[in-house]
Structure 1
Amino acid sequence: MSTYLPEDVVLNILSRLPPKSLLRFRSVCKSWLSLIGKPNYVSKNLLNHSILTAAAAAAAHQLLLVKLTAPSIPKRQTCSFLSYQTLAFASQTPQNLPIRSPRGLSIVGSCNGLLCLFDYFSGGDIFVWNPATSELKALPCESNDVDTVCFGFDHKLNEFVVMRTRYVPERDPPVFITNRGVKVLRLNRVAEVYRLRSGDSWRKLIVDGDVPDCNGPNSRSRWAYANGVCYWWTLRGVEDEKIVAFDVSEEVFRTTPLPDASVLGRRSDVRALTVLNESVAMVVVRNKSKWEGKLFDIWVLLEFGVKESWTRLLRIEAFPGLEWPLGFWKNGELFMENGEGELVLYDPFTQTVRNVEVDHGAKESLQVLAYTPISASIEGGLKITE
């Protein structure tokens, strides 16, 4: 019996492997290295595997939520809902919110039918919102120094969790130090959690070491969430660049380093986080020149905590008119914002762009999330029966 397998059969077998195993099998033999080592093949295989996950999730994530903020209409945000399968317009929900900032509220998380909204620019207002019922719950806010918020679902205790970090006086009573003739309040950074079914107050976390921070506002794809873990990007000092993970069940922080700058690119390049095949994915946005446009590198972290497991899936070579990545769709296509503030869908394999029809009347803030409608009350924590 011959041990030879035709190349098309080998490709069929390899394409059914999870990404982590696929990359490991490059060391089996030279012929497999040749097949798997082709950049287009590796990229397409990893994305195709993510399609299987997205297709299974599509039954649950029936809608795609597109958030638009109109600066000309104070305290008003509009969420358009599209069919996840076809991207056809389904409905639109304008929501009058107690917004203090003219920039509107950022969606920091979408989980099991609820959204967590955060007013970053006006300092600390956090809401949990159910668009299906228009119910809005304002969480207690006694501080204007909140800088990080994340939202997830604790599958062990069957409840929603909000985590925030903020600055508090180092001592009570507060202590001031003099810096160049100016009195400065000495502050510490703390992490707190709010569980929707466990009470109506924030509880301080006991953290081993420093509380991780977040660079920049909680919007524009700086956050990702998957399987009860929130992720964000942080930079401390000159070279300490990491991804932070917060497990909402265990209430612990973990970090993982990014690839070396010589491979990843300059620290000044913008990083955008998303989730691909239930793994953390990162899009590195580089400005080439005014005429050449932007360049996009898409990376995936196959094993959290292992720096060497970062893998670059593909590079989008300076496609003109594309400004910002907003997340992946089910076919490996990438939602992006163009130079006009409009939502488009980019296919990295055919290098084609098509418009996604939503109301583009507002260009201040554009976010895209998968969303599952649920008709239930937020009060009492909105207990989910799985």
Structure 2
Amino acid sequence: MKGLNKTGTEVPEILVLEILSKLPVKSLTRFRCVCKFWSSSFQTPFFINKHHLNNLNNKNLNLLLQRCHGPNGEIHYFSQLSTEKGQNFMVKQNIHLPICEDYLVDPTVHGPCNGILCFDIEFKIGLWNPSTRQFKILPESSIERPPSAESTDFGCLGFGYDSLTDDYKVIRFVTNYFEYEFDGMSYYSHTIAQVDLYSLNCNSWKELPHPGADAWYTFTFHNYINGFYYWAAVGAPGYVILSFDMVNERFSILPLPEFEGNLAQNHWEFLDFKGSLGAIVYPAKGTLKSIHVWVMSGSWTKQYSFESVPEVERPLGFWENGKVFLESSDHELVLFDPSTRELQNLGIDAYPNKMQIIVYVETLVPLNGRSELEELIMRRSPSWRPVDKINRNR
């Protein structure tokens, strides 16, 4: 279908699609009913990629805040924050996902990767596109485990994009537990000897070779950056960074930066620094933090430092113009401007040390899953919090 300009002249289809590719997902969802051509065009890889690139180039950023409340921080949900000027990141709505309910452990969120988030909670893994409001629970793996294994557990996980095949992949390490006897007593040993890889295109799992003969024990900090997933790990070589190439499906090892102190004295976060692997290092204790940013470009270099930032628990992520989101010592969300050293309290609180800032751009990437309504995902007003509802029902 061609469009018409003010003079009644037909506008070429390619120009119409170029204009449409600059619109938000919410508008495109409404426009699907205009005609079959528009509806089908919005689902083509060309239009999806064009739309995503326009959002990246124009820095149309969106913000989600993963947070929780409750006596023990057991009620998990997401707050969508406004990015419009003058609104000071006010909460636009709160989003509650049922996959985060009824578990003793906290859900881990991986991503965003091209606007897609991956949830990892005990034995369940889900993908979520908050722009199209699609959600997909991944199928269980059919990969056989060693017959002598008494039980199986799933450890660290990674999620990323394969640009060669236009595919989204989930990788996880599998721990098998074996029972043995010693002096008439039963014990359990474990080995991390298997690696599973899920492909969204195939909607199935396959097994990959393990990165080494020795077991790897991973820490909590990890991230996907520009085609690779990174974990901090310890194995036979000691403390290293374990990386996984989403295209070639191969592991490699990188060194950690040479920083002051040791891992027990510092906290870490991996970050995407303009397409390169970056790391934020900050003290584990105290509320007067010096925050250091390292970047890997052939070798590690310290990019810059924020010295002696007061009343800070930990950094959460970067925003525009070099500003940094922080969790304050009062466990509130604040924005720090390094150039002026100004701390702006945004008036949003959460349970201690469980906030996570998620900066993403909108995407039309289909998950072939179900709608948020079908998954009972609730979007509510800023005044609503899941903990309030649960307390009333007790």
- Scaled by the length of structure 2, the TM-score of the pair is 0.68
Structure 1 residue 147 displacement after superposition: 1.5
Indicate how the Cα distance of structure 1 residues 273 and 102 shifts in structure 2: closer, same or farther if over 3 A, else same: same
The residue that corresponds to 1:233 in the other structure is 232
Which position in structure 2 is the counterpart of 1:190? 194
The one of 287, 297, 313 aligned to 2:292: 297
Contact residue 58 and residue 85 of structure 1 kept, 8 A? no
The 8 Å contact of residues 267 and 284 in structure 2, kept in 1 or not, is answered as no
Who is 1:106 aligned against?
108
Letter of the structure 1 residue corresponding to residue 174 of structure 2: R
Name the SS for the 2:56 alignment partner.
helix
Alignment counterpart, residue 247 of structure 2, candidates 249, 254, 267: 249
Tell me whether 1:139 sits opposite 2:135 in the alignment: no
| 1:43 aligned residue | none
Structure 2 CA distance for partners of 1:178 and 1:135, relative to 1, 3 Å = farther
Question: Residue type matched to 2:120 in 1?
Answer: F
Contact 2:288 2:311 in 1 (8 A): yes
Tell me, in whole angstroms, the C-alpha distance in 1 between the residues paired with 2:55 and 2:130. 23
In the alignment, is the contact (CA less than 8 A) between 1:118 and 1:127 conserved in 2?
yes
Measured against aligned partners, the alpha-carbon deviations of 1:84-119 in whole angstroms (never above 9, x if no partner) come to 877644732412313332554221111222210111
8 Å Cα contact 1:76-1:97 kept in structure 2: no
Q: 3-state SS of the aligned residue for 1:378?
A: coil
CA RMSD after TM alignment: 3.2
Give yes or no for contact 1:190–1:211 (8 Å, CA) kept in 2: no
1:81 equivalent in structure 2: 81
Give 1:279's aligned amino acid: S
Q: Read off the aligned partner of 1:154 and give its amino acid letter.
A: D
Query: Percent identity between the aligned chains?
Result: 25
Q: Helix, strand or coil: the match of 1:57?
A: helix
Match of 1:258 in 2: 256
Q: Which amino acid aligns with 2:116?
A: L
Cα distance between partner residues in 1 of 2:256 and 2:76? 38
* Aligned partner letter, 2:326: M
> For the Cα contact (< 8 Å) 1:62–1:85, is it kept in 2?
no
**Alpha carbons of structure 1 residues 208 and 118: separation in structure 2 relative to 1, 3 Å:** closer
Cα distance per residue 1:18-71 (max 9 Å; x no partner) = xxxxxxxxxxxxxxxxxxxxxxxxxxxxxxxxxxxxx98362543122111233
Q: By how many angstroms is 1:296 displaced?
A: 2.1
SS in structure 2 of the partner of residue 246 of structure 1: strand
Amino acid at match of 1:282: A
Within a 5 Å distance, the mapping from 1:354-373 to structure 2 comes to 354-356=344-346, 358=348, 360=349, 362-363=351-352, 365-373=354-362
Q: Cα deviation per residue 1:98-144 (whole Å; 9 max; x = unaligned)?
A: 3332554221111222210111xxx3321111223443222234786
Q: Is the 8 A contact 1:287 1:295 kept in 2?
A: no
CA distance 1:281–1:189, change in 2 (3 Å): same
1:241 alignment partner AA: Y
